[in-house]
């Protein structure tokens, strides 16, 4: 069964959501990240997707206090993205309690470092983040586009132990219009030994059930929960079904 991974995007320690990665199109929610983590854990969720949007822009982690709070609660496994641009950033995130580190911009700009980290920490902990806009990988908090396709980026790291990829279609992110299903089916067919996480566009439990029927392993859900398109009760029922 597909694993549901709720997302918490953070700016200034608060839960927010952006539309299509645009920082000027931000919605801030009243619940704190720790409060949301507790609700997710109560619903049976095992893994949380934390994104440090301040860190993504600054080039270094900026919301580690949120990570520590959730980690110390021992509620959920945590995958962390945003601001990991060097060894100091990676170590800070792991020491603050992240179980998995998502590497995006650095993998594009300094692939040799990504290769070393995969070999040192293993593909179980180092996850490739491939965020796509018009078919090309976007970096620096989605503020800059690279010339690389997802396939080109993924192929580079397979010899070094890559196991997991979170692929986001930026055009779908926060829009509640359904995921780019064809993108993930193509990736699964091309790289059958890798685990892909669907990210962007989830609007309903029907979207999740469809992805499950197609054999996808994991799906990140954010705005659909905050905007009440998917309830925690529905998630709990799906997990326990």
Residue range 169-177: mean pLDDT, rounded = 81
**Distance from C-alpha of 207 to C-alpha of 96, rounded to nearest angstrom:** 33
Active-site residue numbers? 9, 131
Cα–Cα distances in angstroms (integers) from residue 184 to residues 47, 210, 221, 224, in the given order: 20, 12, 16, 20
pLDDT (tens digit per residue) in 117-160: 999 999 999 999 999 988 899 887 677 889 999 999 999 999 99
User: Residue 170 has what pLDDT?
Assistant: 86
Which stretches within the chain are classed as H helix? Answer: 33-42, 53-58, 64-72, 87-95, 105-109, 111-121, 150-157, 181-190, 205-213, 223-226, 232-240
The burial of 74, by beta-carbon neighbours within 10 Å (0-12 exposed, 13-18 middle, 19 or more buried), is given as exposed
**Can you read off the two tokens belonging to residue 235?**
């998630």
The number of angstroms, rounded, from the C-alpha of 24 to the middle of its chain's C-alpha atoms is: 20
* C-beta separation of 23 from 238 below 8 A: no
Pairwise CA distance, residues 101 & 97, whole Å:
10
Report all structural domains of the chain as residue ranges with CATH numbers, in order of start: 3-240 (3.20.20.70)
pTM: 0.94
């Amino acid at each position: 069964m597909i694993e549901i991974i709720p997302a918490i995007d953070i700016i200034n320690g608060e839960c927010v959501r952006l539309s299509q990665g645009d920082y000027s199109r931000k919605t801030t929610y009243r619940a704190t990240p720790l409060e949301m983590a507790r609700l997710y854990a109560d619903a049976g969720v095992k893994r949380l997707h934390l994104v440090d949007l301040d860190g993504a822009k600054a080039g270094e982690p900026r919301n580690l206090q949120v990570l520590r709070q959730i980690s110390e609660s021992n509620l959920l496994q945590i995958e962390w993205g945003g601001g990991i641009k060097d060894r100091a950033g990676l170590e800070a995130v792991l020491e603050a309690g992240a179980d998995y580190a998502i590497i995006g911009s650095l993998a594009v700009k300094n692939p040799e470092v990504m290769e070393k980290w995969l070999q040192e920490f293993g593909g179980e902990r180092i996850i490739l983040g491939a965020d796509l806009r018009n078919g090309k990988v976007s970096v620096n908090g989605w503020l800059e586009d690279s010339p690389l396709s997802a396939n080109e980026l993924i192929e580079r790291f397979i010899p070094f132990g890559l196991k997991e990829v979170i692929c986001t279609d930026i055009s779908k992110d926060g829009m509640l219009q359904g995921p780019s299903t064809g993108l993930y089916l193509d990736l699964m067919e091309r790289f059958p030994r890798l685990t892909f996480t669907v990210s962007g566009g989830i609007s309903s439990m029907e979207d999740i059930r469809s992805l499950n029927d197609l054999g996808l392993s994991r799906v990140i859900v954010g705005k659909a929960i905050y905007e009440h398109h998917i309830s925690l009760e529905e998630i709990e029922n799906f997990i326990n079904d």
